[in-house]
Amino acid sequence: DVGRAPDQMPSPELARLPNVIATPHIGGLTPPASESQAMDTVRQVQALLKGEMPPGAVNAAIWSRRP
């Protein structure tokens, strides 16, 4: 996931690797991706409202809203 700004571009060394595919950030704006992101947000908010850890929580080990 890259942009056009110099700090968002992969380094030449990274870009040369055969297992690297750099795509523009807009790749995540397809209708199926937008729907999936919206539904993930709904599931996360539902979990929070129930006092549960949201699915996919990044900082699960330090989550402080335990029931």
Percent helix, strand and coil across the chain, each rounded to 5? 50, 5, 45
* Each residue's pLDDT tens digit, 11-50: 889 889 999 887 777 767 889 988 999 999 999 999 989 9
User: What does DSSP assign to residue 11?
Assistant: P
| Pair of tokens at residue 19 | 């297992």
Q: What is the pTM of this model?
A: 0.55
Residue 67 is predicted with a pLDDT of 57
